Amino acid sequence: MAEVYLSLGSNIGDRLENINLAIDYINENIGEVICCSSVYETEAWGINSSGMYLNQVILIKSNIKPISILEKIWDIESKLGRVRVVDNKYADRTIDIDILFYDNHVIHGDYVTIPHPMLQHRRFVLVPLCDIAADFVHPELNKKVADLLQVCKDDLKVQKFDPGFN
């Protein structure tokens, strides 16, 4: 069984419900959810958007190969109303699920790149990832996740989400 870290994000509709439904689908179709980070409210990264995102990182155990996980992720995103943008630019979305790590594997394929090539540049990924895997060593950069967060130049707002204030 592989340990797989996934990042989840939503900024359209009931953001928390979208993330919770995605976790349920992941648990049913991809692998057992072992632990979840806190949920964070974050500014949009890479796009102009008025909608704040909710982001969370989860750890699952799965016996499914990475490309099959990606295909199942696309199915889950579609079920939850995500419409993929044809020009591959960032856009608002009901749900976004990314594979961050698959054990310590390094994969550079046509459809999947693991570790996620941008994770070290994104506080909205690194902060929740530190909740559950601060000591995990990035297999290409040979640095702990906590150390990647320390040197990350992204200065966008990332704060713990309190559903009582929304």
SS (H, E, C) the chain: CEEEEEEEEECCCCHHHHHHHHHHHHHHHCCEEEEECCCEEECCCCCCCCCCEEEEEEEEEECCCHHHHHHHHHHHHHHCCCCCCCCCCCCCCCCEEEEEEECCCCEECCCCEECCCCHHHCHHHHHHHHHHHCCCECCCCCCEHHHHHHHCCCCCCEEECCHHHC
Among residues 103, 104, 143, 101, the alpha carbon closest in space to that of 125 is found at 101
- Range(s) of the domain holding residue 76: 2-165
| pLDDT tens digits for range 135-160 | 999 999 999 999 999 999 999 999 99
Higher pLDDT, 75 or 162: 75
* Domains in the chain, number: 1
pTM: 0.93
**Average confidence (pLDDT) over 80-93:** 68
Higher pLDDT, 42 or 83: 42
| CATH number of 99's domain | 3.30.70.560
